[in-house]
Structures are given as structure tokens and as C-alpha cells.
Amino acid sequence: MLTSLLLYVVLGAFAGVLAGLLGIGGGLVIVPLLTFSFTWQGVPHEHILHMALGTSLATIIFTSLSSMRAHHGRGAVDWSAFWRVTPGILTGTFLGAWIAAQLPTNILKGFFGIFLYYVSYQMLLGKKPSASRELPGATGMFGAGNVIGVVSSLVGIGGGTLSVPFLTWCNMAIHRAIGTAAAIGLPIAISGTLGYFVNGIGVEGRPDWTFGYIYLPAMVGIVSMSVLTAPFGAKLAHSLPVATLKKFFALLLFVVGTRMLWSLL
């Protein structure tokens, strides 16, 4: 148990930096490493990824709060866009948690890996949006929020992997898109955590200290460090050039996606 807690603390420190740096909740790294940790601990295979996804979203509640405060302090959060996309985020994320609860672990792993490849490819292309493109109206933002929420819930992330490309596609500056995505991670995490909690109640074979699909020791260990390191990541984000941020983001997604797909073999 001590070794596992140390692993969760180190993982939390890394996740916090990523949350602040890229506007993500750290789930891109948390989910694969929790999958490895739960496998090592002997958690039944059919529960491993569901617990990793649920626990990841639970940690993002705290990480996104810390990251959001840091970005808000730098004036990098578009609160108008945040409030317009949040209703769709809430409904989509809860729906995604229900869908994930019905799917086998290997299908979720495959979906996670392919999703990361797609986003990495889009970011590396670096296509610039039309100069006239802007954020859509209420209906469009609700639809975008639902898509971001469903996918984020299925892969246990704070939504930055979709929110940042969507916002930059709508001509929002990259640093402002990262700050806004950090804020969007909060409603995603709250709704997704509730969904995984509800859908995991009564499921047999889960280890002790598991609430629904939320594994409390992992959540506490990760959160204890991530909230401390997220402000450092936010500071780093505002000191690095745009091109470097995009390349780092894309390469990170590619590596993690490869690791997840390889585990299926």
C-alpha cells in the first residue's frame, strides 16, 4: 500500500504541472498509470479501466480548481465561453459515464488510444482557422459541450484535449484557450465523477475504499500534490512560445495513445 501511495503522489505532481501547462486535467497521464497500478494491485480486469476513469475525473475536480485560479489570475479565462458551454458539458459528461459503465475494459482502452492519436494528428497539422470563424451561438455551444463532455467522460480527462483545439479553431488565442479549458475541466470533472459514482454502486468485485468507481487512496494521493504543482504549470504556460506548447501537447498525446493501444496486445 505504501508503494502505491508514493506512486499516486508522484503521479499527482506530474498531473498538476500538465493541468496548468496545457489546460488539461492530467487524465491523459493519470488514466494509463492508474490502469497499470490497478493491474499490479490485482484489481479484477473488468473493473480496472472503469476505476481508472472514475478516479481520474475525481482528481480533476481539485486539479482544475487550482489550475483555473492560476489562469484566472493572469486574465486568461474567457468566462463568457465557459458559461455558454457548461450546460452541454454537464449533460454530456453524465451521459458518457453511463455509456462507459456499459462497455468492456478493452473497448474503452481502444477508444482511448485511437482518440489520442486523432487529437495528436490534428494538433501537429497546425491548420489555421478561417479568419472569420468565431464561437458558435447557444445551440452550437450546447452541442459542442455535449460532444466534449461525452468523450471526456469516456476517456477520464478534463476536456482540454478537445476544448483547446475547439477554442483555437474558433480563433481564440492559444494561451486564453488553455486557461478557458482549465476552467471547463471543473464541470466535466464534477458531472463525470457523479456519473461514475452512481454507475459503480453495487458492482461486485471492487476493492475496499472504492466508492462507486472512485478509488479513494489513489484520489487522495494524486490530489495532495496536483493542487500544489498546477500553478507552476500555469506559470510555465505563459512563458513558453505557442509553437512549443502545441508540439509538446501533440507528442504527449501520441506517446500515451501508443502505450494504451500496445497494452491491448
Give the tens place of pLDDT for each residue, 59-76: 888 878 888 888 898 888
Task: Catalogue the E-assigned strands of the chain.
Answer: 210-211, 214-215
Highest mean pLDDT among 83-97, 168-182, 241-255: 83-97
Average pLDDT over residues 1-17: 78
Q: Which residue has the higher pLDDT, 26 or 9?
A: 9
Per-residue pLDDT, 24? 62
- List the one residue out of 258, 246, 260, 251 whose CA is nearest residue 23: 246
Averaged over 98-107, what is the pLDDT?
87
Q: Give me the pLDDT at residue 22, please.
A: 66
**In the prediction, which pLDDT does 101 show?**
87
The CB density around residue 241, as the number of other CB atoms within 10 Å, is 9
What is the overall mean pLDDT for the chain?
83
Beta bridge partners of 215: 210
pLDDT of residue 195: 93
Task: Give dist(CA 62, CA 224) in Å, integer.
Answer: 9
C-alpha cell at 236: 510555465
pLDDT at 182: 85
Residues 81-94 have pLDDT tens digits of 999 999 999 999 99
> In the predicted model, is pLDDT for residue 54 greater than 90?
yes
CA gap 206, 208 in Å, rounded: 7
Residue 223 has phi, psi (to 5 degrees) of -65, -35
pLDDT at residue 258, as a whole number:
84
Residue 133 has a pLDDT of 67
> 494521493: which residue's cell?
221
What is the band of 58 on the pLDDT scale with cuts at 50, 70, 90?
very high
pLDDT given for residue 126 in this prediction: 64
Calculate mean pLDDT across residues 22-48.
80
Q: For 119-171, how does the pLDDT look when each residue is reduced to its tens digit (9 = 90+)? A: 788 777 765 555 556 788 889 999 999 999 998 888 777 777 778 878 988 88
What's the rounded Cα separation, in Å, for the pair 19 and 228?
Answer: 11
Mean pLDDT score, 192-215? 91
The Cα–Cα gap between 200 and 134 comes to 39
Nine cell digits for residue 185: 475541466
137: left (phi over 0), alpha (psi -120 to 50) or beta: beta
**pLDDT value, residue 142:** 95
Report the candidate in 15, 212, 177 with the shortest Cα–Cα distance to residue 100.
212
User: What is the reported pLDDT for 34?
Assistant: 86
DSSP β-bridge partners for residue 214: 211
Cell 461525452, located at residue: 150
Answer for the pair 122, 249: CB distance below 8 angstroms, yes or no: no
Kindly indicate the confidence band of residue 108, based on its pLDDT and cuts at 50, 70 and 90: confident
